[in-house]
Amino acid sequence: MAAARIGIIGTGWVGTSVAFSTLVSGHAGELWLHDQRGAVAEGEALDLADGAAFYPHCDVRAVALEQLREADIVVLAAGRNGRPDESRLDLLRDNARIAAGIGRALAGFGGIVLVVTNPVDVLTRVVAAASGLPPERVIGTGTLLDTARLRERLAGRLGLSPLSVHAQVIGEHGDSSVMLWSGARVGGLALRDWAGWRAEDEALLAQQVRRAAYEVIRRKGATNHAIGLVTAELIGCIVRDERRLLPVSRVQDLPGGLRGVALSLPALVGANGAVQVTEPAMDEAERQALAASATVLDQAFRSLAG
C-alpha cells in the first residue's frame, strides 16, 4: 500500500499523538485530520506540517468528514477521555453515540477502520454494526497496549529487555482483561519455570497492567503517547502487509461460543485487515476468564439498547 492515505477523526490528546507517531514512522503519504472543531484540526495540521523537514515526506491537512471515505485507513479517535477512577465502560454511552454516527458515515467505505476511542471493544462492535463493514476491516487497538504494558513490567521484574519477553493479554481492553500466564515465555523458557519467579507476582503484575491507564489519567488527565505509538505500529502492519499475529479487537466469529462480541484475540494483521483469528493455548482458569470478559462486553453493548 504505497503512499497510504491515513485519516484521523478526532484531534484531541489521542488523535494528535496518533498523527505524530504516524508521521515519524513514515507510514503515510497523506495524513488527513478531521474534527468537529474545524479550526483545531486545521491548527494541528499546520503545526505538524511545519515539522516536515524532520519526518518522511507526507502531505498533512485538515479535511471534511466526507473526504475520509477516500482514505486507505481511517482512525477513530473522537470522543471524551476517561476521568480519574472511571472505568472504560463508564465512557460507553457518551462515546457510543459518536462512534455510531461515524460508523454510519463510513457505510460502504472501501478501506480499514481502526478504533482507538474507549471503551474500544464495545465501540469496535458499534462501528462494525453501524457501518456494515466486514468484521476484519473494523479493528480496535484492543489489548495491543495491554500486551506492551505486560511485557514492559515483566521485563522490569526479570531485569531483561521487553524484546526477550513473550506474553499476551487478551479479552477486554479493560478491567476484565486476561493475562495468559500459562503461555508466557522468556528466551524460549516457560515464565513459570524461570528461576525466582513466584506465583504471587502474577496477580501483582496483572493489577499493575489493568491500573496503568488510571495512574496516568490521575496524574495528567489522559493517556495518549503510548496508544499513539501502538496505533502507528498497527497502521504500519496494514500498510506494509506484514501479516503479523497481534492481539487486536474485532467482532469475533469463532466456533465454541465467541460469536458476535468484539474482543481481542491474536489475529493475522495485514493489508486485508485482521483476518485468521486464533485462540491461543489457555489453561482452564484463563479460558473461564476469557468467557467472563466476553460476557461483560456483550452485556455492555446490549445495554445501549436500553
Residue 141's closest CA among 29, 273, 296, 248?
Answer: 248
Residue 164: burial class (beta carbons within 10 Å; 0-12, 13-18, 19+): middle
Local structure of residue 189 (DSSP, 8 states): E
> Distance between CA 103 and CA 126 in Å, rounded?
8
Strands 112-115 and 138-140: parallel
> Distance between CA 291 and CA 306 in Å, rounded?
23
Among all chains, which residue has been given the C-alpha cell 439498547?
305
Give the per-residue SS3 of 204-253.
HHHHHHHHHHHHHHHHHCCCCHHHHHHHHHHHHHHHCCCCEEEEEEEEEE
Which residues lie below 8 Å from residue 114, measured CB to CB, with a gap of 6+? 73, 74, 75, 76, 139, 140, 141, 231, 234, 235
Instruction: Choose the catalytic residue: 34, 57, 166, 173.
Output: 173
User: Active site includes 173?
Assistant: yes
Decide: 206 and 179 in contact? Cβ < 8 Å.
Answer: yes
- Residues forming the active site: 173
